[in-house]
Amino acid sequence: MLHKAKERKSQQKQDLLIEGFLQAISAMRAASVNTLLAYSRDLYDSKAGLKIETKSLVNCKPKDLRSLIAWWHLRNLSPRSVARRLSALRQFMEWAIEEGVRKDNPTSWIDNPSLPAVLPKSLTELEIVRLLEATKMLEPKRESLKALAMLEISYSTGLRATELVELLLAQFRRNPETVLITGKGMRERLVPLGDTARQAAMRWIESRDAHEMFIQSDYMFPKNDGDKMSRHQFAQMLKKIAVFAGLDAARVSPHKLRHSFATHMLNRGADLRSLQSLLGHADISTTQIYTASRPDRLAGLVASAHPLASGRQER
């Protein structure tokens, strides 16, 4: 009985530490709900694995973490999932040291698994046009106008799905040329709206204003009950439109629209720094992955821009 009570107390202490860590990163980094849920899942899974070795987040050693990694591999977790769990553990241990819970960081001796490069996949420009055309098939008419505005804005700005569904009506009332977006880490950026996206937004607002169900909502794209649309609901809308467009619905997602925006912009001559700003990437290395997906574009850039590419040097 005494052993069980001691174990129960240890588990409760770890739960409190995990919750304390989540509160800390929520306050310090303005982490999103989805990010916090991911950290929570990873840390509680680590806690469960360490329990098998009769260890905890408080007293584990590097050898215990190696056993934990082996347990993850036995469950056929992908290298990316293992790397994500290790990242969560590293950040938790750093926080635990700052809080005086631990004196050492056992993750310092653990290497990350090597990850295969994952290149962003995008739709073609023609497929984007087909998606936009397919919004006309949605019923009733207001849903068609809403979907068209969402797709036009998403594709013309490269917004994340969360950023799109959190847009406010007040941001569009005066038919703006740019919109202020608050992205990850509460970083703000101005994104320009193309004329086509602005026109689609104005047509949607006109329809939106004509329906009482939307009057009380502050969101640009509310659900029929006036509440904010979720990322999942936007994704489901895209799948439906993809079917109407004759596309494989599995290939169409909100993030695929963002990738398409970035890839098509780069293909048409956008520079990386500008694209980084538009996408809201904190580090340009995140943006650079789009260049790896189109090596032919880089070869073409050298052929057209390098002064010796044609075999002649300007004099």
What is the pLDDT, as a whole number, of residue 218? 94
Averaged over 96-121, what is the pLDDT? 82
Give catalytic residue positions. Answer: 160, 184, 255, 258, 281, 290
Distance CA 285, CA 275 (A): 12
Distance CA 94, CA 296 (A): 43
Task: Name 223's Cβ contacts closer than 8 Å, sequence gap at least 6.
Answer: 229, 233
What is the pLDDT, as a whole number, of residue 48? 94
What is the pLDDT, as a whole number, of residue 305? 52
What is the pLDDT confidence band of residue 294, given thresholds at 50, 70 and 90?
low
CB of 201 closer than 8 Å to CB of 152: yes
- Which of 107, 13, 128, 118 has its CA nearest to residue 61? 107
Per-residue model confidence as pLDDT tens digits over 28-87: 877 788 889 999 999 999 999 999 888 999 999 999 999 999 999 999 998 889 989 999
CB of 47 closer than 8 Å to CB of 18: yes
How many residues are listed for the chain in this entry?
315
Task: Could you list the beta-strand ranges (E) of 72-225.
Answer: 178-182, 188-192
Averaged over 236-259, what is the pLDDT? 94
What is the pLDDT confidence band of residue 6, given thresholds at 50, 70 and 90?
confident
Please report, as a single letter, which amino acid is at residue 256.
Answer: K
CB of 272 closer than 8 Å to CB of 284: yes
**What's the DSSP call for residue 310?**
T
What is the pLDDT, as a whole number, of residue 209? 93
208 φ/ψ angles, rounded to the nearest 5 degrees: -60, -45
Q: Which of 130-139, 222-231, 255-264, 295-304 has the lowest mean pLDDT?
A: 295-304
> What CATH number is given for 7-109 in this structure?
1.10.150.130
Distance CA 197, CA 175 (A): 10
| pLDDT above 90: percentage of residues in the chain | 62
Domain ranges of the chain: 7-109, 125-302
Structure tokens at 123: 């739709």
Task: State the sign of the Cα–Cα–Cα–Cα dihedral 292, 293, 296, 302.
Answer: negative
231 φ/ψ angles, rounded to the nearest 5 degrees: -60, -40
Structure tokens at 218: 């502050």
- Looking at CATH, the fold of the domain delimited by 125-302 is given as hpI Integrase; Chain A (1.10.443)
Please report, as a single letter, which amino acid is at residue 241.
Answer: I
Averaged over 290-301, what is the pLDDT? 56
pLDDT for residue 168 is more than 50 = yes
Highest mean pLDDT among 48-62, 139-153, 218-232, 292-306: 139-153
Distance CA 204, CA 4 (A): 61
Gyration radius (Cα) of the chain, Å: 24
What is the pLDDT confidence band of residue 295, given thresholds at 50, 70 and 90?
low
Distance CA 168, CA 291 (A): 33
